[in-house]
Amino acid sequence: MQALIHRKWWKILSIVLLLYTFIAGLLIPLPYETAYANSNLYESMRNFFFHVPMWFSQLVLISVSLFYSIKYLRNPDPIYDIYATEFARTGTVLGCLGLITGSIWANYTWGTYWSNDPKQTGAAIALLIYIAYFVLRNSMTDMDKRSRVAAVYNIFAYFIYIPMILILPRLTESLHPGGKGTEGNPGLGGSSLDATMRLVFWPAVIGWSLLGTWISTLRLRVRLLEEKKHSA
């Protein structure tokens, strides 16, 4: 990871992919006249290229955070704690953006920004659990204790997040695509995802993931400079 921070190619790739997905996401023809003719998505379907990749990239970032929390517990090096914190921070921001874009989309398709749908509720609870991670960290002054407790909590938060976002909503009645008993809006994924949309969706996932990593590494540099200044 340290070597990756100083390489530029993936940062350029992030910019190129996001520019491509922003332009193509607004201009490509959508399949609402064919596969989605009976849905009420229409042009709001373009939000799919922003809303869903944000959640995918959040999952990537908090998975990296989980990795460094486990690594810290095995080898309590402060650098691992900093990595875990900053990737969790950026992942939480992307999760909030995903929730906001989802609410905007819901207003167009369901007629309200918030309907207490299981997917919405699960996402909100999962984000609150991660926000509590930072509250917990800030409540402790002992550096070693804070790092250990935060690492354990981060592991706990991750394995609560997965069921709340990916499993439980699919087991309950939901307006959200992919839920049990879903009617109207199709699940925009798997075999139901139009081939043209795939050409925008997957580059968007990679682009947002790289952008999140870029932001995290910038935060890491700032934190490391602060740590160096305090130790001097």
Q: What is the pLDDT of residues 196-228, one digit of tens each?
A: 888 999 999 999 999 999 999 999 989 888 877
Is position 35 within any domain?
A: no
Residues 6+ apart with CB under 8 A from 196: 28, 29, 31
- The number of folded domains in the chain is 1
CA triple 6-12-16, angle to 5 deg:
160
- Residue that has been written with the tokens 């999952």 in this structure: 59
Is position 24 within any domain?
A: yes
Check pLDDT > 90 for residue 130: yes
Check pLDDT > 70 for residue 122: yes
Which pLDDT does position 183 carry in this prediction? Answer: 47
Distance CA 73, CA 150 (A): 10
Please tell me the pTM assigned to this model. Answer: 0.88
Is position 224 within any domain?
A: yes
Percent over 70 (pLDDT), the chain: 82
Is position 116 within any domain?
A: yes
Is position 94 within any domain?
A: yes
**Domain extent for 150:** 12-28+46-180+187-231
Is position 132 within any domain?
A: yes
Is position 223 within any domain?
A: yes
Classified as helix, coil or strand, 180 is strand
Return the half-sphere exposure (C-beta side, CA atoms, 13 A cut-off) of residue 90: 26
Is position 37 within any domain?
A: no
Distance CA 224, CA 232 (A): 12
